[in-house]
C-alpha cells in the first residue's frame, strides 16, 4: 500500500481550502488516514489509484470532490522540438521509452521530496519494482539534445548518482546499493540499457540508477523525464501521472519525438456509458444530467448524450479506468456510499448447509457426548510431527509448500492424530483426564477431505477405551465396519486395530506406542483413534 505524505500548507494552497475540510473528506474518495501530524498527514491510497500518490494529485481530486473545481483538468502540451532515438537492439531487453520535457519548475526541499516519493510509489504500484516501469528525472540544462536510448556494453562506465568515481555498469550492479537491489532485472542480458545525450554523456542506466551529472537540485528549472519499461501502457501511465502532477504544481509540459510520434499528449480517452446500466448496478435513480454531474465531481469530462448516454472524457492519469463499471464506482463515490439505499435483495431463496459440514457437526456432537473437548489445530505442520515422531512413513500424497515461512510449517497435514498428540504435549500441566478431538480438512495430493480424530490421556487410558470410543463414533455415524489387527507403528503391537469398510482401511485405533509418547514428551498412556469421514454413507464426493 502506498502511504503518501501530505504537507498541510502545500496541500491547502493547491486545494484552495483548509486542512480540516480536506482531512474530513479524504477517506470518502477511498483512503485511510494513517497519521495526523503537526505539519502533515500520512494517508494511504489504494494501488489502483497511482494518480493520488502525490499532494498535487490528491489536491486535484479533492477540489473536485469538494466542488471547488469540477470536470476535466486539461493540460496543454507543446512540442519541445527535441528528438529521442531508440536503439532497435533494446527490443528484447527493455523496449519501451516514454519521455517529456517539464519546464519552469520551482523546487524547494519539500517539492523535490514530493516528486521523489511519487517516483518511488509509481515504481512500486505501476512499475512492479522497476521491472515493468522505471522513471528517471534529470536537470535538462546539463545535457544536450537529441537524446539516445541505446543498448550498451556492460563495461561502459560513468559516475552514478551519489558517487564520485566513474564505475562500469557491471561494477554498479555489484557495488552501488541501487545496483544490488535491482541487478536481477538486467544482469542476464549481454547489453544493458543506457540513456545518453548528443555529446555521449550518460543520463541514466535504467532501471538501475541515474548519472550524477544530471542530478536534480532546488536550482533546477527544467526537467527531462525518461521512463523505460517493458509495457507500453504502464510506461505511458507513469509519464502521464508525473507530467500532470508537475503541471498541477505550475510547470509547463512539452512533448518529445520518439519514433516519429510526439509524446506525451496528455489527452483524455473517451467512453460512452449507459445511464440505465449505471443506475441498475448501483441501485439508484440517475439521469444523464445527474450522472454527468457526479462524474465531473470526480474530475471526468462528462456531458449527457441523449437520455441514456453520457459521453465521458477520462483523464490521461486515470490508469484504473479499464471498464465502464470503473466509472460507475466513481459515480457511487461521488454520490456517497452513506446515501445509497441499502436493502437486501427480495428474491426468495432457501438456505442449505453443505453435507460435509452437516457430517462434521454430527461427528462433533457424538464426540461431545463422549466427553471429548474440541481443539482446532493448524493445518500447516511438518514431517517431524506428522511422521517421524509417530514412527510412520511419509505419506505419498503429502504436499510440501515451496517456500515455507519456518521449519515448523513445511507441509499440509495428511492426518489429525499427530496434531492432537502435540496438543497433549502443550497441555501436560493441565488436569487429567484430557480427552480431545478434532474434525477437519486433510489433504492427499491436491484432494481435500475430512477426517475425525480423538485422544484420551490419563493413567488408565488403554486399548479398550480407544476401541470403545471409536466404535461409538462409527456407530453414531452409521459406518458399518470390521476390525483387523493393525501394523501401524504409532501404536503398541497387539493393542491396535485397523478400521475396515468395504475391504478398505479407513481408520485406526489403539494404545499409543511408548516410544511415540517419549517423542511427544508425554507421561501418561494415550488411547487414540482417527478415521476418514468419507466412510460415512452418502458422503459427498468432491
Partner 1 sequence: MAELTQNEKRLLAILEKEKKADAPHLAGLLGATPEAVVQWAHLAGDKGLVNVERVVAKEFVYTDEGKAYLQKGLPETQLLRFILPGTTLADLQKHEAFKIGFGQLRKKGFVKVEGTSVTKTPGASTVEDEASLREPSDANPRTKDLMKRGILQESETVRNAIAITPAGLALVKQGLDLRDESGTLSREQIISGEWKNANLRKYDVTKLPKKAYPGKIHPYQRIIGEMREILLEMGFTELYGGIVQQSYWNFDALFQPQDHPAREMQDTFYLRETLPLPKGYEKVKAMHECGGETSSTGWGGVWKEEKAEQCVLRTHTTSVSIQYLANNPNPPVKAFCVGRVYRRETIDTTHLAEFEQLEGIVMDENVSFGNLLGILREFYNRMGFESVRFKPSFYPYTEPSLDAEVYVDGIGWIEMGGAGVFREEVTAPIGINYPVLAWGLGVSRIAMLRLGLKDLRLLHKSDVAFLRETPSLRHNKGGI
Three cell numbers written together for 286: 440517475
Q: Which is nearer to partner 1, 35 or 280 (CB)?
A: 280
Residue 297 found at the interface with partner 1 (CB under 8 A): no
Indicate the length of the chain as a whole number. 542
For partner 1, the closer of residues 46 and 189 by Cβ is: 46
**DSSP states of 232-288:** HHHHHHHHHHHHHHHHHTT-EEEEEEETTEEE---PPEEEEEEHHHHHHHHTS---H
Are 208 and 217 in contact by the 8 Å Cβ rule? The answer is no
Q: Is position 280 an interface residue for partner 1 (rule: CB under 8 A)?
A: yes
Q: Is 406 in the site for partner 1 (CB under 8 A)?
A: yes
Nearer to partner 1 by Cβ, of 187 and 280: the residue is 280
Q: Is 531 in the site for partner 1 (CB under 8 A)?
A: no
C-alpha cell of residue 255: 512533448
CB-facing half-sphere around the CA of 175: CA atoms within 13 A = 13
Query: How many alpha carbons fall within 13 Å on the CB side of residue 42?
Result: 7
Residues touching partner 1, count (CB under 8 A): 88
Least gap, CB of 432 to partner 1 (angstroms):
10
Task: Quote the least distance from Cβ 125 to partner 1, whole Å.
Answer: 9
- Phi (first) and psi of residue 504, to 5 degrees: -120, 140
List 184, 400, 475, 484, residue binding partner 1 (CB under 8 A):
400
306 touches partner 1 (CB under 8 A) = no
The answer to whether residues 374 and 404 touch, using CB atoms and an 8 Å cutoff, is no
- Tell me which residues in 213-232 interact with partner 1 (CB under 8 A): 231-232
Q: Which cell goes with 358?
A: 452437516
- Name which position in 76, 164, 199, 347 contacts partner 1 (CB under 8 A): 347
Of 303, 292, 298, the C-alpha closest to 318 is: 298
Q: Does 403 help bind partner 1 (rule: CB under 8 A)?
A: yes
Using rule CB under 8 A, residue 49 touches partner 1 = yes
CB of 273 to partner 1, least distance (A): 8
Candidate list 341, 393, 537, 541; residue touching partner 1; CB under 8 A: 341
In this structure, what are the phi and psi dihedrals at residue 539, rounded to the nearest 5 degrees? -65, 135
- Shortest distance (Å) from residue 443 CB to partner 1: 6
In the complex, least distance from residue 386 CB atom to partner 1, rounded to whole angstroms: 16
When the beta carbons of 12 and 324 are compared against partner 1, the nearer one is 324
Q: Which is nearer to partner 1, 244 or 469 (CB)?
A: 469
The CB-of-114 to partner 1 minimum distance in angstroms stands at 23
- Residues 49, 311: Cα–Cα separation, whole Å: 22
Binding to partner 1 (CB under 8 A): which residues in 88-147? 128, 132
Q: Assess 407 for contact with partner 1 (CB under 8 A).
A: no
Q: What angle do CA 12, 78, 138 make, to 5 degrees?
A: 65
Contact status: 307 vs partner 1 (CB under 8 A): no
d(CA 138, CA 265): 20
Going by C-beta distance under 8 Å and a sequence separation of 6 or more, which residues neighbour residue 267? Answer: 316
Kindly state whether residue 372 participates in binding partner 1, applying the rule CB under 8 A: yes
**Binds partner 1 by CB under 8 A, chosen from 134, 282, 292, 508:** 282
Nearer to partner 1, 48 or 87 (CB): 48
State the cell numbers at 295: 462524474
479 neighbors 486 (Cβ within 8 angstroms): no
Q: Is 371 in the site for partner 1 (CB under 8 A)?
A: yes
Q: Report in angstroms the alpha-carbon separations of 235 from 7, 242, 249, 263.
A: 28, 11, 22, 12
Binding to partner 1 in span 416-445, by CB under 8 A: 423, 426-427, 430-431, 434-437, 441, 443, 445
| Ramachandran assignment for 219, one of left (phi > 0), alpha (psi -120 to 50 degrees), beta (any other) | alpha
Q: Which residue among 12, 42, 48, 476 contacts partner 1 (CB under 8 A)? A: 48
**CB of 468 vs partner 1, minimal distance in Å:** 15
Q: Rule CB under 8 A: say whether 65 interacts with partner 1.
A: no
Question: Which residue from 325, 395, 468, 524 is in contact with partner 1, where contact means CB under 8 A?
Answer: 325
Q: Which of 221, 238, 233 is nearest to 136 (CA)?
A: 238
Enumerate residues 1-30 that contact partner 1 by CB under 8 A. 27-30
Amino acid at each position: 500500500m502506498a502511504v503518501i505524505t501530505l504537507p498541510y500548507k502545500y496541500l491547502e494552497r493547491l486545494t484552495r481550502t483548509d486542512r480540516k475540510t480536506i482531512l474530513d473528506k479524504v477517506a470518502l474518495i477511498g483512503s485511510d488516514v494513517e497519521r495526523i501530524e503537526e505539519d502533515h498527514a500520512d494517508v494511504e491510497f489504494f494501488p489502483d489509484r497511482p494518480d493520488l500518490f502525490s499532494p498535487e494529485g490528491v489536491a486535484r481530486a479533492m477540489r473536485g470532490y469538494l466542488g471547488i473545481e469540477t470536470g476535466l483538468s486539461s493540460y496543454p502540451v507543446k512540442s519541445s522540438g527535441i528528438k529521442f532515438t531508440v536503439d532497435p537492439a533494446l527490443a528484447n531487453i527493455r523496449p519501451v521509452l516514454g519521455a517529456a520535457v517539464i519546464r519552469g519548475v520551482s523546487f524547494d526541499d519539500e517539492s523535490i521530496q514530493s516528486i521523489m516519493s511519487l517516483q518511488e510509489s509509481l515504481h512500486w504500484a505501476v512499475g512492479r519494482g522497476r521491472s515493468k516501469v522505471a522513471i528517471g528525472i534529470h536537470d535538462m540544462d546539463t545535457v544536450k539534445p537529441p537524446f539516445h536510448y541505446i543498448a550498451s556494453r556492460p563495461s561502459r562506465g560513468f559516475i552514478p548518482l551519489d558517487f564520485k568515481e566513474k564505475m562500469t555498469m557491471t561494477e554498479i550492479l555489484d557495488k552501488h546499493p541501487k545496483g544490488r537491489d535491482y541487478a536481477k532485472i538486467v544482469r542476464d542480458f549481454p547489453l544493458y540499457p543506457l540513456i545518453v545525450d548528443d555529446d555521449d554523456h550518460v543520463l541514466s542506466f535504467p532501471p538501475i540508477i541515474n548519472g550524477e551529472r544530471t542530478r536534480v537540485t532546488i536550482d533546477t528549472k527544467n526537467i527531462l523525464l525518461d521512463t523505460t519499461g517493458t509495457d507500453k501502457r504502464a510506461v505511458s501511465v507513469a509519464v502521464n501521472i508525473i507530467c500532470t502532477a508537475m503541471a498541477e504544481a505550475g510547470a509547463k509540459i512539452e512533448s518529445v519525438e520518439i519514433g516519429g510520434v510526439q509524446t506525451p499528449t496528455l489527452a483524455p480517452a473517451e467512453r460512452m456509458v449507459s445511464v440505465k446500466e449505471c443506475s441498475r448496478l448501483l441501485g439508484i435513480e440517475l439521469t444523464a444530467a445527474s450522472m454527468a454531474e457526479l462524474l465531473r465531481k470526480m474530475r471526468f469530462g462528462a456531458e449527457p448524450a441523449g437520455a441514456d448516454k453520457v459521453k465521458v472524457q477520462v483523464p490521461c492519469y486515470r490508469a484504473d479506468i479499464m471498464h465502464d463499471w470503473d466509472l460507475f464506482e466513481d459515480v457511487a463515490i461521488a454520490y456517497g456510499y452513506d446515501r445509497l439505499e441499502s436493502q437486501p435483495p427480495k428474491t426468495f431463496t432457501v438456505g442449505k448447509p453443505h453435507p460435509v459440514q452437516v457430517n462434521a457437526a454430527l461427528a462433533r456432537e457424538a464426540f461431545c457426548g463422549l466427553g471429548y473437548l474440541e481443539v482446532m489445530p493448524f493445518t500447516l505442520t511438518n514431517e517431524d510431527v506428522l511422521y517421524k515422531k509417530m514412527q510412520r512413513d511419509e505419506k505419498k500424497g503429502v504436499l510440501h509448500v515451496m517456500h515455507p515461512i519456518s521449519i515448523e510449517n513445511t507441509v499440509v497435514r495428511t492426518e489429525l492424530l499427530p496434531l492432537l498428540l502435540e496438543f497433549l504435549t502443550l497441555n501436560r500441566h493441565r488436569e487429567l483426564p484430557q480427552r480431545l478431538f478434532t474434525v477437519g480438512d486433510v489433504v492427499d495430493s491436491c484432494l481435500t477431505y475430512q477426517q475425525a480424530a480423538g485422544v484420551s490421556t490419563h493413567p488408565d487410558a488403554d486399548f479398550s477405551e480407544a476401541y470403545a470410543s471409536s466404535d461409538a463414533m462409527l456407530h453414531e455415524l452409521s459406518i458399518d465396519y470390521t476390525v483387523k489387527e493393525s501394523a501401524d507403528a504409532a501404536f503398541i503391537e497387539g493393542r491396535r486395530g485397523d478400521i475396515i469398510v468395504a475391504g478398505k482401511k479407513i481408520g485406526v485405533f489403539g494404545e499409543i506406542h511408548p516410544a511415540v509418547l517419549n517423542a511427544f514428551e508425554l507421561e501418561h498412556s494415550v488411547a487414540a483413534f482417527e478415521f476418514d469421514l468419507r466412510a460415512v454413507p452418502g458422503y459427498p464426493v468432491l
